Amino acid sequence: MDDLIRLAREMQARAYAPYSHFPVGAALRSADGSIHGGCNVENAAYPEGLCAEASAIAALVGAGHRHIVECVVTGPGPQPITPCGGCRQKLREFASDDLPIHLCGPDGRHRTVTLGELLPLSFGPQHLARP
């Protein structure tokens, strides 16, 4: 998990957050073990920016992967942050309910939760499967 935390922190340092001043980093591990990072990118036409998790998912998909097995989210404050509701749904598209999400602050990992805990009774790709 140290590699994911390191990448998430690197991404957080690269965030473009001139409006909220709240840089966030995320890192994902795909099924083959490769890792992919993202940061939040804000826009003057608020809320048209990108969340860190969405950026990391785009990097994962752009690299040809479709399954997330581990996630780290880092934020600037002393309290760990969780993915927003939209990003929880985006993560669900590429992961199962048991996806571990490590919530990290500046001093390291604070807590690990599952996607199912953050998004109970989720709507996923299986709901659109045809019989």
Q: What domains can be seen in the chain, in order of their start residue?
A: 2-109 (3.40.140.10)
Separation of alpha carbons 24 and 81, rounded Å: 9
Residue pLDDT, tens place only, 33-58 = 999 999 999 999 988 899 999 999 99
**H helix intervals, the chain:** 2-14, 52-62, 85-94, 115-118
Give the three-state DSSP class for 102.
strand
Bridge pairing between strands 25-30 and 100-105: unpaired
Residue pLDDT, tens place only, 94-129 = 999 999 999 998 887 789 999 999 999 888 888 887
What do you get for the CA distance between the two ends of the chain, in Å? 38
Check: pTM over 0.75? Answer yes or no: yes
Known active-site residue 10: no
Given the residues 10, 42, 48, 53, select the one marked as catalytic.
53
